[in-house]
A and B are shown apart, each in its own frame.
Chain A
Amino acid sequence: MTRMNGSVLHEDLVAGMRDVIPLMLGIVPFALVAGIAAVDAGLTLAEAVGLSVIVFAGASQLAAIDLLGSNAPLAVVIGTAAVINLRMVMYSASIAPHFADYARRTRAALAYLLTDQAYALSVAEYERNDDRSRWRYYLGAAASLWVVWQIGTVVGVVVGAGVPDAWGLTFAVPLVFLALLVPAMKDRPTTAAGLAGGAVAVVAAGLPLNLGLLVGAVSGIAVGLLTEARTR
């Protein structure tokens, strides 16, 4: 393919990098909050960066930080974060046909960078433009998200350490989740799942081992399935 943009980078890679820019408006504050919450819970800079590099999934990072900070048992921390990231299986399944022709090692590397945003952006572009190099476009978007996420976390750790507790900066954590939750409740069954999950979690907040979150999440999924069955 010719490089019409005169750049040393392939145009499909550049297209991914360009298309992801508007999404950074949501990613930057999210990453900052992940860093701020980490220091607030008592994590070191190395641990905060380790979490961002090794896990690289914002919502689960924030939940893990929150639970670690309140001294929840290890199994609850891991179980909760894993449930939150289960949705990656859905993305993996959906994007897999596009990567099917690549070598196993390439697929393994591409999988590491899979996020909500990289998935949504790439699949939409694949639908629109059949000529796009699958891996280049995806890499342009996903690697940009990775870099911004890591820098944002570090900045958050540094900034977060200097802000007084009374400001309640960690309240930005539920606000981030809220901004993700509202568009996720897009029809009747998903709305029922959200309302039930949230309500049960509030009632179960006093449960030992911070199990309220898991109980709420599982209840919400069950109510979503029931609602779907009834509306059919």
Chain B
Amino acid sequence: MTGVAGLAGIPVLSASPDLVSSPHVWVAIVVIGIATYSFRLSFIHLFGRIDRVPERIRRPLKYVPPAVLAALVFPDLVTIRPGVVATLADERLIAGVVAGAVAWRTENVFATITVGMVVLWLFRFVVFA
């Protein structure tokens, strides 16, 4: 693919030829945007008509953040390979465990990213190199 639609539909050359098609990307952006805005507006708009959030909605929502975030994080840190050593001797997993400890101690996003990246580089460029 050589050209993708730019702003206002003017075709521009893409820097990366393996890019997903641009209309596809814009559809995703707009639909996710509409869904997200409707979540944000939901009870702010409805309030007055509904006094309280029904328990049936509130209970499962409580588990959305930990479940989704963990489902995002874990596969980026570990890939199941044949053999325990092959699975565990992974610089991403080591960096992730250390960064997780930092997150737990400090609850600081900046410190977590910094320590995680440094450990990743240490193992990728020095220890496992």
Chain A residues proximal to chain B, CB less than 8 Å: 25-30, 33, 42-44, 46-47, 50-51, 54-57, 59-60, 62-64, 68-69, 71, 74, 77-78, 81-93, 95-97, 99-100, 104, 107-108, 110-112, 114, 161, 167-169, 171-185, 189-191, 193-203, 205, 212-214, 216-221, 223-225, 228
Size range of the interface on B?
Answer: 35 or more
**Hey, which chain A residues are within 8 Å of B96, CB to CB?**
174-175, 178
Q: Could you tell me which residues of chain B, from 89 to 129, have a CB within 8 Å of some CB in chain A?
A: 92, 95-96, 99-100, 103-104, 107-110, 112-113, 116-117, 120-121, 124
**Hey, which chain B residues are within 8 Å of A83, CB to CB?**
64, 68
B69 with A175: CB separation less than 8 A: no
Selected contact of A99 from candidates B47, B60, B61, B68, CB within 8 Å: B47
**Hey, which chain B residues are within 8 Å of A218, CB to CB?**
67
Q: Is the interface of A mostly helix, strand, loop or mixed?
A: helix
Q: How near does chain A come to B73, taking the closest CB pair, in angstroms?
A: 5
Chain B residues proximal to chain A, CB less than 8 Å: 4, 6-7, 12, 14-16, 18-20, 22, 24-33, 35-37, 39-48, 53, 57-80, 92, 95-96, 99-100, 103-104, 107-110, 112-113, 116-117, 120-121, 124
